[in-house]
Structure 1
Amino acid sequence: MTLLLHLSIFFTILFISLPSSHSSSSNDKNALLQIKKALNNPPLLSSWNPQTNFCTTWTGVECTNGRVTALTISSGEISGQIPAQVGDLLELRTLDFSYLTHLTGNIPHTITKLKYLDLLRLKQTNLSGYIPDFISELKSVTFLDLSFNQFTGPIPGSLSQMPKLGALQINDNKLTGSIPNSFGSFVGTVPNLYLFNNKLSGKVPESLSKYDFNAVDLSGNSFIGDGSVFFGRNKTTIRVDLSRNMFEFDLSKVKFARSIVSLDLSHNKISGKFPRELTKLRLEHFNVSYNHLCGKIPSGGLLQTFEPSAFSHNLCLCGTPLKAC
């Protein structure tokens, strides 16, 4: 009898101590209401009524098994900063604050509590300051988009420590410095790199040549040196845009992957002649204008299908679609 009594007490205590799904769901709801309050109760979130089901009727909220797994606040009159309470939505897979031109301040440290976060998009807002190192603590993120903001300072080298990162979009900011050397040692997936339209400079780390990037866009910066590290005959690269920089290398020595469909090298200091293997590429976009290239444009393939402007303003290029040699 005594044993049964003890067992009954034990299981009663165990049941009481276990967090219920209802309790967790209430925590999510409270966090959402705190977020709404911190954003000054904007009209965009007028559907966030405490009397209604947040999983089914609240704008931008998605749930799985009663827990908030996606929060998307986009394209509305939102002012203020990203509320710290986003870090209390512990089951979040997607966090998206986009097209909010009056959203200011920094990225809150509390997002490091979101251990299951897969997509972090803070795009086209007025966020500023440095991109924080602590973002690298988000080990489940596969897609990181911080584009079209006011971020300054260097690219955090710690981003290379995100093992599942498949795409890094930090373009259209005011970032300075060079590509971190640590990007030559990604711990996991080699991400697509979108660094265009910043104030970046310096040489591209040579160690990046060992990687097979799917897409690279460094355009609109002040990079110098050898940009050909992204090419290689045995790679599977699809898109490369190095335009509007100060890269200097000999195009005739570059080996191109057959997989490339988009190649923009315009507005640099690239010299040499056209390698014939460019005629073997199934190019959809191509531009080498405003460089120091010379010699005859090889015939065959798709090169002759592009406008003369794609070849213009070089030292002495000739042949179709330019003037005959």
Structure 2
Amino acid sequence: MASSFFFLTLLLLSIISAATPCPPSERAALLAFKAALTEPYLGIFNTWSGNDCCRSWYGVACDPTTGHVTDVNLRGESQDPMFQKLGRSGYMTGKISPEICNLSNLTTLIVADWKAVSGEIPACVASLYTLQILDLSGNRISGKIPTDIGNLWSLTLLSLGDNEISGEIPMSVVNLARLKHLDLSNNRLTGEIPYDFGKLAMLSRALLSENQLTGSIPKSVSRINRLADLDVSSNRLSGSIPVELGKMKVLSTLKLDGNSMTGPVPSTLLSNTGMGILNLSRNGFSGTIPDVFGAGSYFMVLDLSFNNFSGRIPGSLSASKFMGHLDLSYNHLCGTIPIGSPFEHLDAASFSNNDCLCGNPLKAC
């Protein structure tokens, strides 16, 4: 009897929720959002008709109980049958209308990979306090990141990569205490990385490459215990590598290539057995390469090329468990190339343009 009552209640709730259309104000907001965009090939907005935006509107999802719009998920690269049938990725022009901010219960806003959506990020987006995912990557969005982006305390993913966004990274970004994934890569950002970047305690990926960022890497980054991937390559960063980075236990990918950084490489960075991809190429690093490798060293990529390293190639490299790609070219190294399994598959290009290296695969000593 109790189980029958339970299932009857569930059925009643499903009927009620199915009959709960989205509020007219939210439907109007979506239609105004649609009016500012043009998608000529797939016809995804043809589904945005009828009085209930919770029913069959492509990319729109609602709370089943209240009818409030919770998700707007429009991605130009999709496995959706609509895309596969036409055999093409999406293309969309227009701008993101501030009307989207009238969806006050929004948890997901994705308008990504459409190639030509332009204009600025509406400042009011920072008032969507329930937002957990904001992905506007792969477009032509310009202007600045909203100053108050740090107000989005529920945000776990912020992806604005592959756009034309300029200005500085807002200081308020460090207030995104739940943020796990940050992608600001391939934009036109200037200024420095916020000095207290380490406040982003939940962050696992920070992708800031291909911008015009200056200054040094903040020491506070080392306090992000969950950070596994840090990519600040192809910027204008200077200064030395904080010694503290080499002591991070989870960090496995560090890309600093294509900057103007100087100084020695911390020995802890090369002896860290969790480090798998380390690219320090095209900087001004100098000194000797620390002789701290061992049986626990497992590098898929170790690129130290185009720097000012001098001295010998560390003999301990021979003890490495694995060395997938090693590039020591364009430095001032000298002496005999060590012998061992990590070196057997490497060609001359890995050691070229040094002062006086010799031994296999270069000429004999």
TM over 0.5, shorter chain: yes
What do the CA deviations read for 1:71-114 (whole angstroms, capped 9, x no partner)?
12232343221011211222221101112233221111232332
Decide which of 253, 264, 267 is 2:282's aligned counterpart: 267
- Contact 1:162–1:188 (8 Å) recurs in 2: no
Matches within 5 A, 1:237-276: 237-251=251-265, 253-255=267-269, 256-276=271-291
Partner of 2:68: 67
Decide which of 300, 308, 316 is 2:319's aligned counterpart: 300
Q: Distance in 2 between matches of 1:306 and 1:41?
A: 43
- Contact 2:72–2:109 (8 Å) recurs in 1: yes
The TM-score with structure 1 as length reference comes to 0.83
Q: Distance in 1 between matches of 2:48 and 2:22?
A: 18
List gaps (5 residues or longer) in structure 1. 1-20
**Cα offset for 1:285?**
2.1
State the AA in 1 paired with 2:298.
R
**Cα offset for 1:187?**
6.0
Partner of 2:8: none
The TM-score with structure 2 as length reference comes to 0.75
| Structure 1 residues 132 and 165: CA distance shift in structure 2, 3 A | same
Partner of 1:193: 206
**Cα offset for 1:123?**
0.5
- Contact 1:88–1:113 (8 Å) recurs in 2: no
What do the CA deviations read for 1:10-56 (whole angstroms, capped 9, x no partner)?
xxxxxxxxxxx9475443323222222232586331111126x5334
Matched, 1:314 2:326: no
Decide which of 307, 318, 331 is 1:291's aligned counterpart: 307
Partner of 1:11: none
Q: CA RMSD in A?
A: 2.5
Q: Secondary structure at the match of 1:263?
A: strand
- Contact 1:244–1:267 (8 Å) recurs in 2: yes
| Structure 1 residues 199 and 167: CA distance shift in structure 2, 3 A | same
Q: Distance in 2 between matches of 1:93 and 1:25?
A: 17
Matches within 5 A, 1:1-325: 22=20, 25-39=23-37, 43-50=43-50, 53-65=52-64, 66-75=67-76, 76-184=90-198, 186=199, 188-212=201-225, 213-229=227-243, 231-233=245-247, 235-251=249-265, 253-255=267-269, 256-279=271-294, 280-294=296-310, 295-297=312-314, 298=316, 299-302=318-321, 305-306=324-325, 310-316=327-333, 318-320=336-338, 321=343, 322=351, 323-324=358-359
| Structure 1 residues 72 and 89: CA distance shift in structure 2, 3 A | same
| Structure 1 residues 230 and 123: CA distance shift in structure 2, 3 A | farther
**Cα offset for 1:229?**
4.3
Q: Distance in 2 between matches of 1:287 and 1:271?
A: 14
**Cα offset for 1:300?**
1.5
What do the CA deviations read for 1:196-247 (whole angstroms, capped 9, x no partner)?
0001112223333444332110100111111244623352211100011111
Partner of 1:10: none
- Contact 1:209–1:229 (8 Å) recurs in 2: no
Q: Secondary structure at the match of 1:290?
A: coil
Aligned-residue identity in percent: 28
- Contact 2:98–2:122 (8 Å) recurs in 1: yes
Partner of 2:7: none
Q: Distance in 1 between matches of 2:259 and 2:39?
A: 45
What do the CA deviations read for 1:50-72 (whole angstroms, capped 9, x no partner)?
26x53342221123313322212
Number of paired residues? 301
**Cα offset for 1:266?**
1.0
List gaps (5 residues or longer) in structure 2. 1-18, 77-89, 344-350, 352-357, 360-364
36-45 vs 244-253, which moves further: 36-45
